[in-house]
Structure 1
Amino acid sequence: MSINESFKALSDENRRKILDLLRNGDLTAGEIAENFEMSKPGISQHLSILKNADLVYAQKKGQYIYYSLNSTVFQDVMK
């Protein structure tokens, strides 16, 4: 992960909103999607970009994937 990738991921308002939602705790893609007027594939694409930038973690629990903030990388980017 490079700092440029992180800034690119943060450049989109929807991705910043996703990160803000995850500040309150882990969420599934469906729970995240409830906060947007966008298709689920669109949400998945944003989540993929955030994962590739190491800003979020994805962990499978049962049939759901839960997303959480990678606070370590997020703090590094904010420096």
Structure 2
Amino acid sequence: MQTVFKALSDPTRRKILEILKQKDMTAGEIGKRFRITGASISHHLDILKQANLVISERKGQFMHYSLNTSVFEEVAKMLINLFNLS
């Protein structure tokens, strides 16, 4: 869970998650929405993948990224249980 919260602590990574909420995208498509290098986008995507917040899948010659919604469900359940919000 610590890696999830660390990944979510960065505003760029949160914005990437918001973008991926709309549809699956390649790193290049994601990068067009930011004023940072492709290497920085790849770094942020790697951190999101390590936290299992993002799933990558090769389609042809491109890697496509999508949200891993099951992790978000786990985090929501954990927070609800932690604060007895049920």
TM-score, length of structure 1 as denominator length: 0.94
Could you tell me how far apart the structure 1 residues matched to 2:61 and 2:40 are?
Answer: 20
Q: Which amino acid aligns with 2:41?
A: I
TM-superposed CA distance for 1:50, in Å, is 0.1
Based on CA coordinates, which of the two structures has the bigger radius of gyration? 2
Consecutive unaligned residues in structure 1, runs of 5 or more = none
Identity between Structure 1 and Structure 2 (%):
52
TM-superposed CA distance for 1:78, in Å, is 2.8
Within the candidate set 56, 59, 62, 1:58 is matched to 56
Consecutive unaligned residues in structure 2, runs of 5 or more = 78-86
Equivalent pairs counted in the alignment come to 77
TM-score, length of structure 2 as denominator length: 0.87
Root mean square deviation of aligned Cα: 0.7
Runs of 4+ in 1 over 6 A off after TM superposition: none
Query: Greater relative contact order: 1 or 2 (C-alpha under 8 angstroms, separation 6 or more)?
Result: 1
